[in-house]
Amino acid sequence: MTTRILTGITTTGTPHLGNYAGAIRPAIVASRAADADSFYFLADYHALIKCDEPARIQRSRLEIAATWLALGLDTDKATFYRQSDIPEIPELCWLLTCVAGKGLLNRAHAYKASVDKNVEQGEDPDAGITMGLFSYPVLMAADILMFNAHKVPVGRDQIQHVEMARDIAQRFNHLFGQGKELFTLPEAVIEEDVATLPGLDGRKMSKSYDNTIPLFGSAKQLKDAVARVVTDSKLPGEPKDPDSSHLFTLYQAFAAPTQQADFRAALQDGLGWGEAKQALCSLLEAELGEARERYHALIGKPADLEDILLAGAAKARKTATPFLGELREAVGLRSFRSQASSAAGEKKKTGKSARFVSFRDDDGSFRFRLLDAAGEQLLLSKSFADGKAAGMVNKRLQSGEALDVREQDGGFGVWLDDECVAQSPAFADSSARQAAVQRLREALAPAE
């Protein structure tokens, strides 16, 4: 089975070692798996939420695109594109906005943090907060659901957004799916063994903290940055504790096991911090030197990068365009021509005015009802642990499959694979029950 993986990087800065170790390197490795269908993108719409400097965003888009390619992303295998080159994404974002609950978005961490900061400073709770920031989770949901990604590699601070995407997808499926799962429910993937690198000051390496080590800076820039990594005051000859050393954490993210063991032993034997930093520089140079040359060659040919990204967008839209058409149909944004064809087709159908209604119980389980033309309930399904299972049973009932109807509890049940999957209400007498069974068979009869 093919697993679709999707991830993106916001284009607001120059890629650094933390981006590489925590996101880009593991994503490129994952894209090489035989069963992977990878979608990797430049999240440039997201960049507008936090940055109002056009030149910075444009430069970052160029740098991040060149970074992925210089580090070995195979665009023949993976789909690599800019978010802003897929017009279906903002349209889907609006469709999802129309079903996303404000209460759900009120709980988003980034929005709550901004509100709390305003309150602490005595400001209006929503001072300076844009709709872009408030609706960020919906745009992220559109990124994910546009391509029905199965797995979304994220940091722990992004788990909530993937969970929100699941909630929004479930509600859309319930409202418009008619028993079909339009959206796959995505799963957040936390790579426990992927490095989270400390920055120069020991905090998480982040552009926000201005503590990063540029990924493709010159050898001198690399050396100058590493020289600023915070260490303790122990002198050469004094034993150092590798497990409390930010420098050792950086080293082990790029070293083979034998190199890690040797570096650990050297620190414990009193290796000076200056020599240790030189060892880290040498390790990084060996890892990134050739990629740096490819990076600068790509930066020098922006037209070639443009062609690669537009080809990736065309590839992505082969999936996005027809899928958005299906979603537009589902919500009622249909062509009048198709409406006329549908009306003509309805004249040929008999007994197909009944409808299925899917819903979710308070306990989180999934169920569906079958209502006849008058809105009277013919069937109520059993509870299903997940929407996909409920949808499959619903689909089988609508397919015209021969019905196994059995009397039970004053009404009747419908059985599939020797299991009762739905049951009618009780009836006053056998004639009423038989009439209901007949309406059921007419409702589920295949179209002529």
Same structural domain for residues 388 and 422? yes
Same structural domain for residues 31 and 173? yes
Q: Does residue 362 sit within a domain?
A: yes
What residues make up the domain containing 61?
3-194+301-336
CATH number of the domain enclosing 48: 3.40.50.620
Q: Does residue 346 sit within a domain?
A: no
Q: Is 67 annotated as a binding residue?
A: no
pLDDT (tens place) for every residue of the chain, 448 residues total = 789 999 999 999 889 998 898 889 989 999 999 999 999 999 999 999 989 999 999 999 999 999 999 999 999 999 999 999 999 999 999 999 999 999 999 999 999 999 999 999 999 999 999 999 999 999 999 999 999 999 999 877 789 999 999 999 999 999 999 888 999 999 998 876 666 799 999 998 988 788 999 999 888 999 999 999 999 999 999 999 999 999 999 999 999 999 999 999 999 999 999 999 999 999 999 999 999 999 999 999 999 999 999 999 999 999 999 999 999 999 999 888 766 655 555 554 444 467 888 888 778 788 888 888 777 888 999 998 888 888 888 888 887 677 888 888 888 888 888 889 999 988 878 878 888 888 888 888 765 4
CATH number of the domain enclosing 365: 2.30.29.80
Helix (H, G, I), strand (E, B) or coil at 371: strand
Query: Of 184, 177, 148, which Cα lies nearest the Cα of 398?
Result: 177
Is residue 22 within 8 Å of residue 197, measured between CB atoms?
Answer: yes
Q: Does residue 326 sit within a domain?
A: yes
Q: Is 10 annotated as a binding residue?
A: yes
Same structural domain for residues 75 and 156? yes
- pLDDT reported for residue 446: 64
Same structural domain for residues 279 and 307? no
Same structural domain for residues 240 and 271? yes
- pLDDT reported for residue 349: 47
Q: Phi-psi bin for 279: left (phi > 0), alpha (psi -120 to 50), beta?
A: alpha
- pLDDT reported for residue 447: 55
Q: Token pair of 162, please?
A: 């993937």
Q: Is 197 annotated as a binding residue?
A: yes
Helix (H, G, I), strand (E, B) or coil at 198: strand
Same structural domain for residues 154 and 178? yes
Q: How big is the chain, counted in residues? A: 448
d(CA 75, CA 78): 5
Backbone angles phi, psi at 57, to 5 degrees: -65, -45
Question: Counting beta carbons within 10 angstroms of the beta carbon of residue 147, is it exposed (0 to 12), middle (13 to 18) or buried (19 or more)?
Answer: buried
Same structural domain for residues 57 and 96? yes
- pLDDT reported for residue 352: 47
Q: Is 243 annotated as a binding residue?
A: no
CATH number of the domain enclosing 218: 1.10.240.10
Q: Is 155 annotated as a binding residue?
A: yes
- pTM for the whole structure: 0.73
Q: Is 413 annotated as a binding residue?
A: no
Q: Is 205 annotated as a binding residue?
A: yes
Give every CB contact of residue 286 below 8 A, 6+ residues apart in sequence: none
Q: Is 157 annotated as a binding residue?
A: yes
- pLDDT reported for residue 327: 97
Same structural domain for residues 360 and 244? no
d(CA 240, CA 238): 6
Longest dimension (CA), the chain: 97
Q: Does residue 200 sit within a domain?
A: no
Q: Token pair of 146, please?
A: 């546009």
Query: Of 357, 333, 364, which Cα lies nearest the Cα of 167?
Result: 364
Helix (H, G, I), strand (E, B) or coil at 151: strand
Q: Is 208 annotated as a binding residue?
A: yes
Q: How many domains does the chain have?
A: 3
Q: Is 249 annotated as a binding residue?
A: no
Q: Is 164 annotated as a binding residue?
A: no
Q: Is 203 annotated as a binding residue?
A: no
Same structural domain for residues 305 and 284? no
Q: What is the DSSP letter of 424?
A: P
